[in-house]
Amino acid sequence: MHQQLVTAFANGFTSGDNFASITSARKLTQLVLNVLIEPGTPAAKVVDESVEQGLILAARQLVRHSINAIETWEQCLDLYFFIKTEIFVSKCGFSFLGYAMTN
């Protein structure tokens, strides 16, 4: 379940979906898993973690397939600013760009 969600979120991020709210992230989860996700449940925590890991996977994919370093940097910055401004403002205690580019 978890890896399936991580992959779905990574694919979404690399194709331009920004999951503007946790509600939209949960909707994707419901489509992928055909399960209703209620806020505050252990399943909701799995969704949160899957989005975070999906972002990291998306950044790794961008770096791995990079042709233009400046474009790749801008795409990674877009992912980084998503973290800072949207769903995970208080949840990300690590250097996303550094982690994604070195792992």
**Domain coordinates of the chain in residue numbers?**
2-102
3-class DSSP state of 29: helix
- pLDDT bin (cut points 50, 70, 90) of residue 64 is confident
Is the pLDDT at 102 greater than 70? The verdict is no
**Quick one: pLDDT at residue 95?**
46
Is there a contact between 37 and 47 (Cβ–Cβ < 8 Å)? yes
**Quick one: pLDDT at residue 91?**
46
d(C-alpha 63, C-alpha 43), whole Å = 30
Percent of the chain with pLDDT over 90: 10
**Quick one: pLDDT at residue 92?**
44
Is the pLDDT at 4 greater than 80? The verdict is yes
Other CB atoms within 10 A of residue 60 CB: 17
